[in-house]
Structure 1
């Protein structure tokens, strides 16, 4: 091999080694604990707070190598600039150049969001980073901060719109200022000019700075914020993020499973208030006849289905339609006067009604001694008057107890003892199924026996205290919610002296929340994006509360701030 070829080969090998060494430096070390340290910005140009900035670029230096694409997707500039930014990377550093000159005498905020990932282990930044500079001799220092309370609060976009009009639909334009929540859900909008602001928390699926209800979740603010020369800081603007359902339900189909039953299918889950026979009518357009259903019930159907019964002989050859006066979904979207053609069947019904669910389950030992509801759900309707004669509630000594029966629909009822039951005692509910005749007259000639045992009644806990800084005219409601049992939720209201008390609470770990039920609908209202409606203000007690059995926690001071 001649000298020139030898030198060329040596240079090529040396170059390859350097390249491979550089790549190797970006790989995680072998063995040991995985890297969980989030990347950080350790240096930036210009320094945050710079005034009279004249350059056309800025610069960031990270603590480790980061994924370039994640950085490009996580950089936001407020107010927005025209054109596309250019990125120049050198190792762990990046320079960003602008296609257009910055406007004069404007405060700009460059936000690096929490979606930036390190190259090795995809760790994300723990908090967003703000670089604030001004092209004039003054810099805006106004700040709005708060927290998003969500199952996964990290990376939710915060959009701030400077209001031109309180009735404006701000979603027709891009936000004026942008930030992003950190791993704990906190956020901070900095460098804001004075003015009125409407802030939203948006789980923006496409990161296109637009709220699209079909795919994005949103947190609606409980109030707008005004920032002035003297009022420059607003904290505690907190959000719950939820889905906004704007689609009205529709009646999809009505199919007879036999001559007595019509299975109804709706486009989405519906509110239980529509389950009444008075809400429906059966119209035979061939014979010009109108029939009213006998019963309506949920039964053992899918979440978007329910059942009607009829005793009228409907003819397969006729054109027969089901009309519904009102369809309401879980989010109160409503459709009036919908209809569907009925697929008619003349097949006889030969099966009697069957119990498919009891709540609490049979043979449980957790039934309360006071006001325990026992709910029995059947797969077919029956005469409610006959059911009342078919039930007995007794203890182990066969002592009869008076009870209250409540019909949730035409195939489901609940039973509640009218007096307190004894603790740690066995009880029975007997139902004579012979009285539960379905619309075709079918019944079971047997007695169903439901056994249960009561709790001791001494293991309950409680919580009492007082509210501070509350406004009684705004109707405050207090809630404690178990961190482990989704069904363990208790509500109360403070008295005129701001004192509150929770009694007969299951022991466990709880979160304490207060919200202003301003619309007095007995539940938290999330607000509405457009036409705009504020959400209700809420506050979290700062620490979880551990409630131990047989012990009431007292003197809790809950300061609303």
Structure 2
């Protein structure tokens, strides 16, 4: 009897523990039902309220996920003072700050509120109220895209913001007054806007700072002030990186027997003016560092003009005294990289990059090997500098006779073939291989028409990795035929080369200059695909559509809004029940 009593007592204890423990029920169908809102304080679309606390009650236990990032509040408030807690089936938000008078506030909860069982987020959860006697109802909407589409086709962490016209901050310095996140396709809508004049921006916010980091995060801006006195629609932003920080010299000093200039950012153009340049004075660029070498001067200095330009067009023009001193510091070894692995049809296009300027080449130890024992001696006239002032970039244009076999050709440079400005040689042999293509297997032609009147056009053919295979600048026509390349899958890109420098240029917000426009060919039967599948021996015709023929730019949409009445959408979409 005593044993039976003990067993019954143990079972009761186990049962009580099981009942007390909160857990997900075992078995049964997976819970896919999102939590439903039961009540909210203040009531949605209330007027003349200025709450210090907001409460939301749901039909089940819930949790809160990253509220500082997920909950988007417009106009902006001090989020670092806000405290959000989830207790059983309630979310309580303590604002801990005063709200502006006569202002409509929108709390967009996105996917921040979830049930505790399967993390199903509450759907379309938005709270709107006004501290004044009316609810502002104007909208600002459109789409955000990337100038250069990322691998991930789904948009994430991209925001759009409106700053009041007289606000001295912008997207690079502070969060906006109104803000909204795009959906996965890049569409955005800012609602409940007060009539007024604004400046508009879009940006990728990877660190949740609610502003763009100019050195690392792509962003876009609308060039003019936007007057919002009715709904503004179909605004397009194109995101790209643009570092508009000052171009300056951070440091300059002697390094061993050489002289270094360390810049604040990467220069795209370098011009050095001195009578010894290319004779006794040489330089190399390594990211933000420019190193000068002189073959004769020691313990003395020379006055040199240095002119620099960065990607956004900022310039730096200055006179510098380059100092060269005696030093026992070990010299940097000569290193070489090549474009080994490239293919060719008639001429080998070899590229050699050195970590230091080259002053001499021993042609006797530079030749081509093929078919085991066959060789071709490389001639001086086949070798030239990519830039006449930069002795670190060497090109070779080597003709291969049609009668020679379609095989792999290896440019062989024995040790001590290349001599650098400091008198050092390459210590090891350098080999670079290039495959000769069979013309019978190549694409006959890819005929391109760009649907635009703009000139000049920089047309680029890219492989699947994004590498430019072929490119051409067209100044007088919108047509071009790419020939003699391997079959495969490609993309085609067109750049409106406004300044004719044969490259794409980013925006400059300080100068109110937009980035150069970029357009990709899109499959007419599937606009989500940019792939061009080309077979050997075929001729292909494609048309690249630009915004001039497919959609209006932001500026054009605003101009249309000034002349055409937009009929507002009167259908209510109440996301919170009173």
Report the TM-score when normalising by structure 2.
0.66
Which position in structure 2 is the counterpart of 1:285?
none
Asked if 1:79 is matched to 2:79, the reply is no
When residues 452 and 47 of structure 1 are mapped into structure 2, their CA distance, relative to the original with a 3 A threshold, is same
Which position in structure 1 is the counterpart of 2:383?
405
Asked if 1:415 is matched to 2:396, the reply is yes
Given that 2:48 and 2:133 are in contact with CA atoms closer than 8 Å, whether structure 1 keeps it comes out as: no
Asked if 1:374 is matched to 2:360, the reply is no
Which position in structure 1 is the counterpart of 2:255?
255
Deviations along 1:212-268, one digit per CA (max 9) or x if unpaired, are 546x62402264474555663124323224555545243443233xxxx63646356
Which position in structure 1 is the counterpart of 2:336?
357
Asked if 1:554 is matched to 2:519, the reply is no
Shift of 1:414: 0.9
Given that 1:462 and 1:502 are in contact with CA atoms closer than 8 Å, whether structure 2 keeps it comes out as: yes
In structure 1, the residue corresponding to 2:66 is in which secondary structure?
helix
Which position in structure 1 is the counterpart of 2:7?
none
1:239-250, aligned counterparts within 5 Å?
239-241=239-241, 243-246=243-246, 248-250=248-250
When residues 513 and 230 of structure 1 are mapped into structure 2, their CA distance, relative to the original with a 3 A threshold, is farther
Distance 1:537 1:272 in 2: 19
Aligned residues: 511
Distance 2:243 2:235 in 1: 25
RMSD: 5.5
Distance 1:460 1:74 in 2: 50
Which position in structure 2 is the counterpart of 1:487?
467
Report the TM-score when normalising by structure 1.
0.68
Deviations along 1:469-527, one digit per CA (max 9) or x if unpaired, are x4x347554545434x2423554567878556544455444444445433443333321
* Aligned with residue 293 of structure 2, among 282, 303, 308: 308
Given that 1:377 and 1:411 are in contact with CA atoms closer than 8 Å, whether structure 2 keeps it comes out as: yes
Given that 1:526 and 1:536 are in contact with CA atoms closer than 8 Å, whether structure 2 keeps it comes out as: yes
Which position in structure 1 is the counterpart of 2:505?
525
Shift of 1:424: 1.6
Which position in structure 2 is the counterpart of 1:336?
318
Distance 1:358 1:90 in 2: 61
Shift of 1:154: 1.8
In structure 1, the residue corresponding to 2:67 is in which secondary structure?
helix
Shift of 1:180: 2.3
When residues 110 and 478 of structure 1 are mapped into structure 2, their CA distance, relative to the original with a 3 A threshold, is farther
Distance 2:479 2:309 in 1: 37
When residues 442 and 377 of structure 1 are mapped into structure 2, their CA distance, relative to the original with a 3 A threshold, is same
When residues 246 and 381 of structure 1 are mapped into structure 2, their CA distance, relative to the original with a 3 A threshold, is closer
Deviations along 1:75-112, one digit per CA (max 9) or x if unpaired, are 232223579556463435424465546643x4433233
Given that 2:244 and 2:510 are in contact with CA atoms closer than 8 Å, whether structure 1 keeps it comes out as: no
Asked if 1:110 is matched to 2:104, the reply is no
Asked if 1:158 is matched to 2:141, the reply is no
Which position in structure 2 is the counterpart of 1:459?
442
Which position in structure 1 is the counterpart of 2:3?
none
In structure 2, the residue corresponding to 1:110 is in which secondary structure?
strand
Which position in structure 1 is the counterpart of 2:406?
424
Return 5+ residue gaps in structure 1 as ranges: 1-10, 282-291
Distance 1:242 1:549 in 2: 38
Given that 2:271 and 2:307 are in contact with CA atoms closer than 8 Å, whether structure 1 keeps it comes out as: no
Which position in structure 2 is the counterpart of 1:177?
178
Which position in structure 1 is the counterpart of 2:221?
221
Distance 1:373 1:280 in 2: 30
Deviations along 1:323-354, one digit per CA (max 9) or x if unpaired, are 653274764664733457655226999x9x96
Q: Higher mean Cα deviation, 173-182 or 430-439?
A: 430-439
In structure 2, the residue corresponding to 1:417 is in which secondary structure?
strand
Shift of 1:395: 8.0
Given that 1:109 and 1:132 are in contact with CA atoms closer than 8 Å, whether structure 2 keeps it comes out as: yes
Return 5+ residue gaps in structure 2 as ranges: 1-11, 552-578
Ranked by relative contact order (alpha carbons within 8 Å, sequence separation 6 or more), the top structure is: 2
Which position in structure 2 is the counterpart of 1:345?
327
In structure 2, the residue corresponding to 1:410 is in which secondary structure?
strand
In structure 2, the residue corresponding to 1:178 is in which secondary structure?
strand
In structure 2, the residue corresponding to 1:250 is in which secondary structure?
strand
Given that 1:430 and 1:447 are in contact with CA atoms closer than 8 Å, whether structure 2 keeps it comes out as: yes
Which position in structure 2 is the counterpart of 1:140?
137
In structure 2, the residue corresponding to 1:143 is in which secondary structure?
strand
Shift of 1:416: 0.9
When residues 372 and 68 of structure 1 are mapped into structure 2, their CA distance, relative to the original with a 3 A threshold, is same
When residues 196 and 455 of structure 1 are mapped into structure 2, their CA distance, relative to the original with a 3 A threshold, is farther
Deviations along 1:513-552, one digit per CA (max 9) or x if unpaired, are 4454334433333213435433334445332314233144
In structure 1, the residue corresponding to 2:237 is in which secondary structure?
coil
When residues 516 and 447 of structure 1 are mapped into structure 2, their CA distance, relative to the original with a 3 A threshold, is closer
Shift of 1:413: 1.8
In structure 2, the residue corresponding to 1:220 is in which secondary structure?
strand
Shift of 1:70: 0.8
